[in-house]
Structure 1
Amino acid sequence: MIPEVKELKNSIECLLFVSGEPLSLKKIAQIIDTDIPVVESIIKQLQDEYQERGLMILNVAGGVQMCTNPQYACWIKKLSNSPNNDKLSFGALEALAVIAYNQPVTKAEIEFVRGVNSVAQIQKLLEKRLARVVGRKDVPGHPFLYGTTKEFLKCFGLSDISYLPPISSDKKVEIVG
């Protein structure tokens, strides 16, 4: 490997390791003073190298991020030595799915699809930064509109919302209004 390429590769690897959040190719290129296609090529090489390792490099939330391989989650859990209290309830996951597939969406629309009160679930999603208020609907009362966040994209390993898996037509619920 050419020393210059090795240096760029090591630099990108370090940036991804310390970042803690997705970095855009543009930002990486600016930091290491090179072109985006060069960064893209090196990222692809790193992704191939990390294929069967404890760490991975994923394309998420409009950037790239180094994260742990889910295959080794059991060891990370043992290291933290604490029960996972951060799991979302079924109701919160259901509310999150309604938001993700119908955004922007109001509380009333979420509750219409779910058929139950969803205040606690929406609050939990806001606390975990998986959902956020994206505006107000132009109807009487001007209720909040909810949408997903970059944290949602990171959490579910999505580059953007268009990568959500399709819903089968028999499970779709149309929100009227």
Structure 2
Amino acid sequence: MEPLVDTVIEDPRWEGFGLPDVATRACTAALVELGLPAQGFTLCLMGCDDAHIAQLNADFRGKPVPTNVLSWPSEERAAEFAGEVPDLPEAGPADDPEHLGDIAIAWETCAAEAEAAGKKMDAHVTHLVVHGLLHLLGYDHIDDMDATLMETTEARILETMGVSDPYS
């Protein structure tokens, strides 16, 4: 019973890392912790390099620099007021699951951040996949109250997976 994470590997380092398995575990844990079923949803996760994510960041956010993770929700799910939990989607049927959106994650930036923070790459990538999924579900961190909600939600999900709070 796992969410369907369609993983597209553009940088072969992600294949050796095992990105599909890490993504499936992270997404399953996040959905379950949020009270959503672990089936009935799909998303696409692309494992790429810094050059590609910098181009995506330039195209979609006007920031021509690499970043660790980007996300594109399939629809707007944000809460009406800052600090409120977003309107979570309903699962679709097995033959037509609800598509949540797309996530891209960059190898070099993730590896450099993990090393700089003294974290295992697996734990850091797990955090970033959860972070990206929460964006697809309507969470954000632009407003302080929304950031607090998103960070505490991430930490709670990661704790269920044995991953330390990335914000402490």
TM-score using structure 2 length: 0.24
Greater Rg over alpha carbons, structure: 1
**Structure with a larger share of its residues in helix:** 1
Question: Which structure is higher in RCO with an 8 Å CA cutoff and minimum separation 6?
Answer: 2
